[in-house]
Amino acid sequence: MRISFHGAARNVTGSKHLITLDNGIQILLDCGMFQGMGEESDELNEYFGFIPSEVDYLILSHAHIDHSGLIPRLVSQGFKGEIYCTPATMDLARILLMDSARIQQKDSEYSNKRRARKGLPLLKPLYTEDDAMACLTQFRIIEYNTEFQINEDIKLELTDVGHIIGSAAVHLTINENGKTSRLTFSGDVGRYGDLILKSPETFKQSDYILLESTYGDSLHKDTEPAEELLKEIIYQTCILRRGKVIIPAFSVGRTQELLYSLN
């Protein structure tokens, strides 16, 4: 077994991790888009670093675009395998991938107006809404804590990690050359005691763990004081000063927590 990392290594976007077994089977963990690095992101999103048509299976930990955003491009470039995820992840991915396709189209149109004036070659979007729709036919639902036999040598199980709705840690049991190994991919891990999501579940012992470490050197404050602080900021700004509070937030996950707290 070999594992190669094609994103979310030394950075936090573009999650793509390719497992290649000795018999040639390839399993891709996530297929995320690089974000937030300007033109460098565009260049990184153009090339996978592997051949999509040679990948046999894709397992999606959750629907955030930095984990799912290049699935339509993967399929349009030849991936024909099944995409395994939880029911909620599939529902969210349908919405987010279609939205992402529209953004790719609008961004290309905006850039091409300037490029046309300068006589530069026009850009194509990474993928279209048709590509996004096409990839959805390859999704397969796996419920939490249910062992699923991918093939005679590979078993899959998903457990809740409380990051966003549907988010999962991926557990693979792989039989190879007479040896059984258990590999876990954490995906993105949520916080314990979240207001609206379940805490991350415990799972069986693994031989190898691919673990996200975005907050690996940080301690989060308790949830309740954060709510009290938000209340105080709103009171000081909106009530006493008659001002406005602007809160940037991820549309999937953070916004729901803010709405819950505000309520």
Rounded Cα distance, 175 and 179, in Å? 6
Residue 253 banded pLDDT, cuts 50, 70, 90: confident
Residue 233 banded pLDDT, cuts 50, 70, 90: very high
Element (H, E) at 153: none
Q: Is 133 helix (H, G, I), strand (E, B) or coil?
A: helix
pLDDT in tens, 49-77: 999 999 999 999 999 999 999 999 999 99
Biggest alpha carbon–alpha carbon distance for the chain: 70
Q: Which of 58-67, 82-91, 247-256 has the lowest mean pLDDT?
A: 247-256
Looking at residue 214, its amino acid is: T
Query: Could you state, in order of their start, the residue ranges of all structural domains in the chain?
Result: 2-210, 223-262
Rounded Cα distance, 76 and 132, in Å? 9
Which among 25, 13, 18 is positioned nearest to 152, based on CA atoms? 25
**Mean pLDDT in residue range 144-160:** 97
Yes or no: say if 66 and 13 are a contact pair by the CB < 8 Å rule: yes
What does pTM read for this prediction?
A: 0.88
**Mean pLDDT in residue range 229-248:** 93
Which among 165, 205, 250, 188 is positioned nearest to 61, based on CA atoms? 188
pLDDT at residue number 255:
86
Of the CA atoms within 13 Å of residue 29, those in its CB half-sphere come to 29
CATH of 2-210, one of 3.30.479.30, 3.40.50.1980, 3.60.15.10, 1.10.260.40: 3.60.15.10
Which among 261, 139, 257, 156 is positioned nearest to 203, based on CA atoms? 156
